[in-house]
A and B are shown apart, each in its own frame.
Chain A
Amino acid sequence: SQTIHQWPATLVQPVGSPLSLECTVEGTSNPNLYWYRQAAGRGLQLLFYSVGIGQISSEVPQNLSASRPQDRQFILSSKKLLLSDSGFYLCATTGGRHYGYTFGSGTRLTVV
């Protein structure tokens, strides 16, 4: 079965600092990978998805970027964080016994 690892679990960063969140997947090859964000009082917003190494699609124009340097690694980055980047970031992959996602445990990012 698939397992998603996300780290760190919690992060507090000052405005203007860089960001790197990492997600790795086990138990599958060539997965579709996704980054979602849940902002306070809002639903889950799709930020980026990738169907293969080096292939990134952006859903929402923003201060963030994503990269997929290896088949089972997905990285979310920012060069300079904004207060509005605060939120709960989730990595997900497809597969399993349904057509939906398996989510990681998430990273709570607070920009101060």
Chain B
Amino acid sequence: DQQVKQNSPSLSVQEGRISILNCDYTNSMFDYFLWYKKYPAEGPTFLISISSIKDKNEDGRFTVFLNKSAKHLSLHIVPSQPGDSAVYFCAASRVTSGTYKYIFGTGTRLKVLA
């Protein structure tokens, strides 16, 4: 059972436009969500997080939106840059459990076209 889903395996966007990456989850107990960026042959790097008590978190060009009723989160990148081309993973956890076990989606490969 895939508790965290990224239904779009790939996305292409023109440089300067908005990139929107989506993520759905099934477990209503998840209370913390993350987005990671991954280049080939490297470990993922943290991008942005959001707690379930919020519906939006912004950090520079990156904004994450959380819709708890729909069990959906999205990552907006504005404006998109060629260096943003990478695989993006969303992840969810119930951090109140103390074990910080994150369930990851299958990733979306973003390609920003110059």
Q: What residues of chain A have their CB less than 8 Å away from a CB belonging to chain B?
A: 4, 6, 9, 32, 34, 36, 42-46, 49, 51, 57, 59, 88, 90, 92, 94, 96, 98-106, 108
Instruction: Decide: B43 and A43 in contact? CB cutoff 8 A.
Output: no
Q: Are B93 and A99 in contact (CB under 8 A)?
A: yes
- Whether A105 contacts B100 by the Cβ 8 Å rule is no
Number of A-B contacts (CB under 8 A): 68
A105 to chain B, nearest CB (A): 5
Residue from A32, A44, A45 within 8 A of B100 (CB atoms): A32
Question: Is the beta-carbon distance between A105 and B43 smaller than 8 angstroms?
Answer: yes
Q: What band does the interface of chain B fall in when counting residues whose beta carbon is under 8 Å from A? A: 20 to 34
Complex contact B105–A49 (CB within 8 A): no
Which residues from chain A contact B93 at a C-beta distance below 8 Å? 99
In the complex the two chains form, what is the Cα distance from A42 to B87 in whole Å? 11
In the complex, which of the residues A42, A45, A102, A106 contacts B46, with contact meaning CB atoms closer than 8 Å? Answer: A102
Nearest-CB distance from A60 to chain B (Å)?
A: 12
Asked if A32 contacts B99 (CB within 8 A), the reply is yes
On whether A99 and B100 interact (CB within 8 A), knowing A105-B43, A106-B42, A108-B41, the answer reads: yes
Partner of A98, one of B34, B44, B103: B34
**Are the C-beta atoms of B100 and A94 separated by less than 8 Å?**
yes
Closest Cβ–Cβ distance, residue B52 to chain A (whole Å): 12
Is the pair A46, B100 in contact by a Cβ cutoff of 8 Å? no
